[in-house]
Amino acid sequence: MNKTVVIYYSFEGNSEFVAENIAKLMSADVEKLQVKNEPPKKGLGKFLHGGKAALLKDDPGLFPLQVDLTAYDTVVMVYPVWAGTFPPAIQEFLKQYPFEGKKLCIVANSASGAAQKSIDQMKEILKNNTFCGSLSLQNPKRNEEKVLGQIREFVERLK
């Protein structure tokens, strides 16, 4: 068995672009985390509501996962950085679907490119897995060609 699943959350499409391309290159299954409560799409409220929810670890009302994680030996986590950490959808996923003994890759997307803190936090929470590598991508949808190159290199290194 060498099956890979890409689990991701995306609020504005960047992590979706990244996750779908990684899944294609790795011939992996892919699942988008869906939640009931999200910040407003526009204005300052987006950052205030979203940032606060991430820091306070609010439960966003995660819909049940469709894939069965026990069927996979590699999990690739893809998410946007919110207030320096990962968004509530990812926090809630880690709480409800803890997994161990798998190969773990982490891909963080952000506006600043500063994602290491969130990657370290996730590694700590998922420490009972074998860490395979991480990738930090800056504004993927504004830099599609560059990011596709970074993704290709990352997937090659995992082989």
Ligand X SMILES: Cc1cc2nc3c(=O)[nH]c(=O)nc-3n(C[C@H](O)[C@H](O)[C@H](O)COP(=O)(O)O)c2cc1C
Helix (H) or strand (E) holding 144: helix 144-158
Q: How many CA atoms lie within 13 A of 127 on its CB side?
A: 4
* Residue 51 in contact with ligand X, rule: CB under 6 A: yes
Q: Which of 21-29, 55-63, 105-113, 144-152 is the region at the interface with ligand X (rule: CB under 6 A)? A: 105-113
Check binding of 112 to ligand X (CB under 6 A): yes
Interface with ligand X, residue 34, by CB under 6 A: no
Query: Looking at beta carbons, which pairs linking 68-72 to residues 24 or more positions away fall under 8 Å?
Result: 69/5, 69/97, 69/99, 69/102, 71/3, 71/5, 72/3, 72/4, 72/5, 72/29, 72/102
109, containing H or E segment: strand 103-110
Tokens 């990962």 locate to 86
Taking CB under 6 A as the binding criterion, the range among 8-16, 56-64, 125-133, 148-156 that sits at the site for ligand X is 8-16
- Please, what is the minimum distance in Å from the beta carbon of residue 46 to ligand X? 5
Among 14, 91, 134, 150, which residue sits at the site for ligand X (rule: CB under 6 A)?
Answer: 14
**CB closest to ligand X, residue no:** 50
Question: Which residues of the chain form contacts with ligand X (CB under 6 A)?
Answer: 10-16, 39, 46-47, 50-51, 80-84, 109-112, 114, 139
